[in-house]
Chain A
Amino acid sequence: MATIEFHGLSKRFGDITAVDGLSFSARQGAVTGFLGPNGAGKSTTLRMLLGLVTPSEGSATIDGNRYADLDEPFRRVGAMLETDAFHPGRRAREHLRILATAAALPATRVDAVLEEVDLVDAGHRRVKGFSLGMRQRLGLASALLGDPTVLILDEPANGLDPDGVRWLRQFVRTFAGRGGTVLLSSHVLAEVAQTVDDVVIVAAGRLVAQSSLADLANRSRPGVRVRTPQVTALHDALTTRGIRVQLVADDALVALDSTPETLGLAAAAVGAVIYEMTPEHFNLEEIYLELTATDEASQ
């Protein structure tokens, strides 16, 4: 079992509070998306989990232990934090060999991970000639070297082409499917919506939401879009019934928290002609933007 837990985690850099009392967890066998706009404190949080940054307050643990207190942490937790953690003059294989040597891992692991990330042919090449996508894969290979059960990935989809994103999605799903724990960050929900089971959303260093992706989707309250020449009449009719309405065009409005049935009855009552009536589709990205924007506005 490998559960990642954050308890009241905070980090201040001088006057700036990068992470502010963050508490959440990532469960075993699932992919947890750690989402928030750039500068929300995601990287700092992950770095505190990995013992690279010292928290000002609170704790971040893996199975109840701080990373630094784990026995052979590299064999339990794999991390990919930046796309340029390589000496540009070293060959990919040399980079991995150094890590394997330091971690006392057999040299065979180097070949195994190069194969796993599909980088065998580039193993002898110097990293400075690598594309961003190749660097991401080499970073992932480094994370996998110790054959870990926990994977921490900071913006892993950054710079990947659509093929690369699909490949990463499959990889991460398989890893979690085998019982691994994955915590991956992104500033774009759409990028990871098909990959994650759970979402943790932060803005300005604070937790905004933690739920399963399905529950987040259910937060979208049903709305109905109506096209009618009698917009004003319908608007007033709905408002008097306590329904929130947004005028979206000269001949169209959106009724929030509403259903086509309610709309139909209200329209019949004022004799409004309906040209078109569409239940509004759920849009995860809008919920995400709303959640993260609200918090920023309250700062």
Chain B
Amino acid sequence: MRNLISAELLKLRTTKSFWAYVASIVVFVPVSIALSITVGNDQNPLTTSDGIRGVFSAASSGLLMAVLIGITMSAGEFRNNTATPTFLITPDRRRVMAAKVLAGSILGVLLAAISAVLTVAVATPWLHARNVDVNLLSADVITPIAGALLSLALGVIFGIGIGGLIPNQTIAITVLVVWSSIIEALLTGFVPAVGRWLPTGAASALGGTWTIEGGLLTFWPAALVLALYSAAAAAAGTHLITRKDMT
């Protein structure tokens, strides 16, 4: 299994699209901080707990990219026919998918850690300049960072599952973007009682963005909901890939 995990990580490191996703995460973090501090949310000024959480929620701003990386990990193998050698080496496709899920969670945690370090490095001096001093060990900082570690890891797993369910990478990415930025955004906006239970709603709760009226789930229920979505997607994707004829 260790070999398979190393191979999965090597597959990512040797493609340009992966590094483009990583680069965009690195760009998203300071942009997200800048938006929180300068534009801000009038309801959550920087003097409040929610305001600080909003700033540090930048640590999970790469969530969509994490899901896209997950999609390329599974659907990308079909796009380039590399699934053939992959399955020739490991005929038990459940092991292949397990390796992808494990490699994906390691990667998600790693990307979240980078985002967290970047967030602290950018946000702390910026807030200080605005006369807001933050205790880095306070819940307002620790909670969004812990949420980022969880949600990015679960996000990659979710993407791996989606890519298994929709092996056409272009369609998988389109479906994901339309779902998360249009359908789910509309549902969350008009029916927040439903929105809080959806993947993006749960991920927002973990990351510390408090933007939904009616309130999001609290941390652990949100973590559980997101974990269930990711596990369900990964299980369904594995089920489909295991039965797929590689013609």
Contacts and interface: CB of A to CB of B under 8 A. Distances in A.
B14 A94 contact: yes
A51 B10 CA distance: 25
Nearest to B247: A53
B22 to A, nearest CB: 15
A101 B90 CA distance: 12
A85 B85 contact: yes
A146 to B, nearest CB: 8
Contacts of A79: 88
Nearest to B243: A54
B80 interface: yes
Nearest to A77: B88
A142 to B, nearest CB: 6
B14 A53 contact: no
Nearest to A78: B88
Contact of A86 (B7, B80, B246): B80
A292 interface: no
Interface residues of A, number: 34
A251 interface: no
Contacts of A73: 88-89, 91
Contact of A52 (B17, B80, B84): B84
B3 A52 contact: no
B97 to A, nearest CB: 14
A90 interface: yes
B24 interface: no
A102 B89 contact: yes
Interface string A150-169: 00000000000000000000
Nearest to B99: A102
Contact of B90 (A53, A85, A102): A102
Contacts of B86: 102
Given A84-B81, A85-B82, A85-B84, A67 B91 contact: yes
A98 B11 contact: yes
Contacts, number: 82
Contacts of B4: 102
A195 interface: no
Given A47-B247, A82-B81, A85-B80, A101 B10 contact: yes
A225 interface: no
A85 B90 CA distance: 16
A204 interface: no
Interface in B1-44: 3-4, 6-7, 10-11, 14-17
Contacts of A54: 243, 245
B3 A102 contact: yes
Interface in A86-115: 86-91, 94, 97-99, 101-104
A81 interface: yes
Contacts of A102: 3-4, 6-7, 86, 89-90
Contact of B7 (A84, A85, A98): A98
B81 to A, nearest CB: 4
B14 A52 contact: no
A44 interface: yes
A85 B243 CA distance: 20
A85 B81 contact: yes
Contact of B14 (A67, A82, A90): A90
B87 interface: yes
A104 B237 CA distance: 26
Interface of B: 3-4, 6-7, 10-11, 14-17, 76, 80-82, 84-92, 243, 245-247
Given A52-B246, A53-B245, 11 more contacts: A43-B247, A47-B246, A47-B247, A50-B88, A52-B87, A68-B92, A79-B88, A85-B81, A87-B76, A89-B16, A90-B15
Interface of A: 13, 43-44, 47, 50-54, 67-68, 73-74, 77, 79, 81-82, 84-91, 94, 97-99, 101-104, 142
17 contacts: A47-B245, A51-B87, A53-B245, A53-B246, A74-B89, A77-B88, A82-B81, A84-B81, A86-B82, A87-B11, A87-B14, A89-B16, A89-B17, A90-B14, A98-B10, A101-B6, A101-B7
8 closest A-B pairs (Cβ-Cβ)?
A: A102-B7, A68-B91, A52-B246, A85-B81, A101-B7, A94-B14, A53-B245, A87-B80
